[in-house]
Amino acid sequence: MPESNDDRVLTFAAAINEATEQAMAADPTVLCIGLGATDPGGVFGTTKGLVEKFGSSRVFDGPTSENAMTGIAVGAALAGLKPVMTHQRLDFFLLAMDQLINSAAKWHYMFGGQFQVPLTIRLVIGRGWGQGPTHSQNLQAWFAHIPGLKVVVPSSPVDAKQLLLASIHDPNPVLFLEHRWLHNIADHVPVEATPAQLGKARLARIGDDLTIVASGYLTLEAIRAVDYLSTRGVACDVLDLRTLHPLDWPAVHASASKTGRLLVLDSGALTGSISGEIVARVASEQFSELRSPPRRLAQPDIPEPTSLGLIQGFHVRSQQIASEALDIMGLSLADVAEHLVAPEPADAPGDWFRGPF
């Protein structure tokens, strides 16, 4: 008997592992490929045990040759297989952009729908302890800019499972971006292998005063800020986008129309960010409905420092979100800093994060 949905709790990493296992068990064309996929650690635990269950012909490591291995995965997808390819760092995957952008993203369109590329690429974003500009990049806006790619950014264990299943079932390339600060969070996850709908946002909190749009890890920071803001009499919508391309524009417009105030969060650099696109579109299409200018919070336009001293204030945190929200509402900051204490060290999210790195 499977465990009850009410009782079972999985970490974000375990939910990814279970989604992959269930997809592979249900469909023999699903493969698990990636540097470290068969290591004892299993890419932060997400591929652990899969090679023992499905064998080395369906679960295998690869050389440190990102472009070549991604090309092999694209070819396998064109031939009818469904590779789930893992790159332990988005930064390393940049070597394979040619295969992704010039090949995988275009085949379905260029050949009039005669070819499909059912390829899922898992990329880990965000920072580990002490890691700097070459291991911390959040380039989701790059990928969302490319026609032909879908971009998924889960924020919870249940979304990690259900959105990964949806990505694997999708007939064309999907980039599945995992913020590494989420791998150890835990929550209830259904046993059933039920895919979510790509392109559908989730309303994580409901309020009439302000809309906060977030994705991935920043959804957690937004919820922490909004729970504090409720003690100050400010009620917010928190819209967790879940996918950046396609983006759930009806949900964004509906919430902005309801509250008339908009704050967009982004874990990438400010210039050219997803947050800029959302602010621009809401301002151009709903200007008359806004009660104040829309705002956004993102990382500064500089490479991420390695130094723990220089990293102070670099990431968007709940204290910054609450402060910005209170300013939009014309309220004093009062006791924000006292209630939303910034974590130490500044390059880790909180007590639940256990590394590595």
By annotation, the residues acting in catalysis are: 66, 135
Distance CA(280)–CA(105), nearest Å, equals 26
Query: Are 189 and 157 within 8 A, CB to CB?
Result: yes
Buried b (16+ CB within 10 A) or exposed e, 19-48: bbbbbbeeeeebbbbbbbbbeeebbbbbbb
Distance (Å, whole) CA 235 – CA 242: 22
| Cis amide leading into 190 (omega within 30) | no
Q: How many CB atoms lie within 10 A of CB 187?
A: 15
Query: How far is CA 212 from each of CA 59, 62, 229, 278, 324, rounded to the nearest angstrom?
Result: 40, 41, 12, 11, 11
Instruction: Output the CA–CA distances (angstroms, integers) from residue 292 to 68, 252, 260, 283, 288, in the order listed.
Output: 50, 16, 7, 10, 10
